[in-house]
Amino acid sequence: MELQDPRVRSLLRQANKVADSGKKAAAEQLYRQLLDEAPDVAEAWYGLGQVLNDPAEQKEAYKKATALEPDFAPAVRALAELRGEPVPAWAIEPEEPEEEEAAPEPELVGETAVPPTEAEYELVCYRHPSRPTSLRCYNCGKPICSSCAIKTPVGYSCPDCIREKEDVFFNATALDYVVAPAIGLVLSLITGYLVSRFAIGGGFFIYFIMVFIGGFAGRIIGQLSKQAIGRRRGRYLPQVMVVMLVLGTAVWLLPILIFNGFASLLAFIGPGIFLFVAGGALFSYMK
């Protein structure tokens, strides 16, 4: 028996667990994978027999199991039942081969020892080696814990696979990160100047106007910059553009603020509203 090998043991447990949950095809695949590596594990042959549907194949699997371990009662019993022969007396009493419950011991999964209390889990999150899990990424099959798993319409995905898909989605070039912010800054300087001319002090009418102007300005700045870069998307482009807007506006507002010794902060409610609304519109447009 090669059950001393922690990897083989881990595979066997995983296969048994999948078989217990009724996923026969998946379990068969796991048993076969295990047997490719370690063809002399009687328990795996027995497990394979349990999940096969064809009696002839089942018989073959049980035969292999009993040939490897002639006193392996469950396999002897299963083989006898398949052949319609009487079960030998010594093999009749079903014995529980559940060694994992009897003697839990630390198990190697990858390079990390899993504490015995968590031995029932076969896998650990690839990002958090201390977290046992039974979830796998549907795309790459890596084990993931529940806080790393990202729900998608087709199943749970790991963050790496999500990022890979996003990288296809985000197609902006390095030049785009120069062109769009440059256009954004120029336009923001213009709107910032107008805001600093007309919106300081203000009053409710100005606040009201700033909501509309802000939304309009944010959208126009986004639209023109995006057109200039062929409508490509950049992961950080929305943030960069908002920074440009703030810069282009602050250049005009700050000197006034400093000149007034920050005494008249209330007068800047109008420009504040403008920045807030325009920034939001620009950000969502660039996304």
Rounded least distance, CB 151 to Zn ion, Å: 13
Which residues of this chain interact with Zn ion, rule CB under 5 A?
Answer: 125, 127-128, 137, 139-140, 145, 148, 158, 161
- Judged by CB, which is closer to Zn ion: 137, or 200? 137
Rounded least distance, CB 184 to Zn ion, Å: 35
For the beta carbon of residue 72, count every other beta carbon within 10 angstroms.
Answer: 21
Rounded least distance, CB 114 to Zn ion, Å: 14
Rounded least distance, CB 135 to Zn ion, Å: 9
- Containing 134, the helix (H) or strand (E) segment is none
- Judged by CB, which is closer to Zn ion: 27, or 137? 137
HEC readout, 206-274 = HHHHHHHHHHHHHHHHHHHHHHHCCCCCCCCHHHHHHHHHHHHHHHHHHHHHHHCCCCCHHHHHHHHHH
- Judged by CB, which is closer to Zn ion: 112, or 227? 112
- Judged by CB, which is closer to Zn ion: 8, or 161? 161
Paired tokens of 222: 């986004």
Q: Shortest CA distance to 16 belongs to which of 40, 53, 49?
A: 49
Rounded least distance, CB 143 to Zn ion, Å: 9
- Judged by CB, which is closer to Zn ion: 63, or 127? 127
Per residue in 207-240, is it b (16+ CB within 10 Å) or e — as a string?
Answer: eebbeebbbebbebbbeebbeebeeebbeebbeb
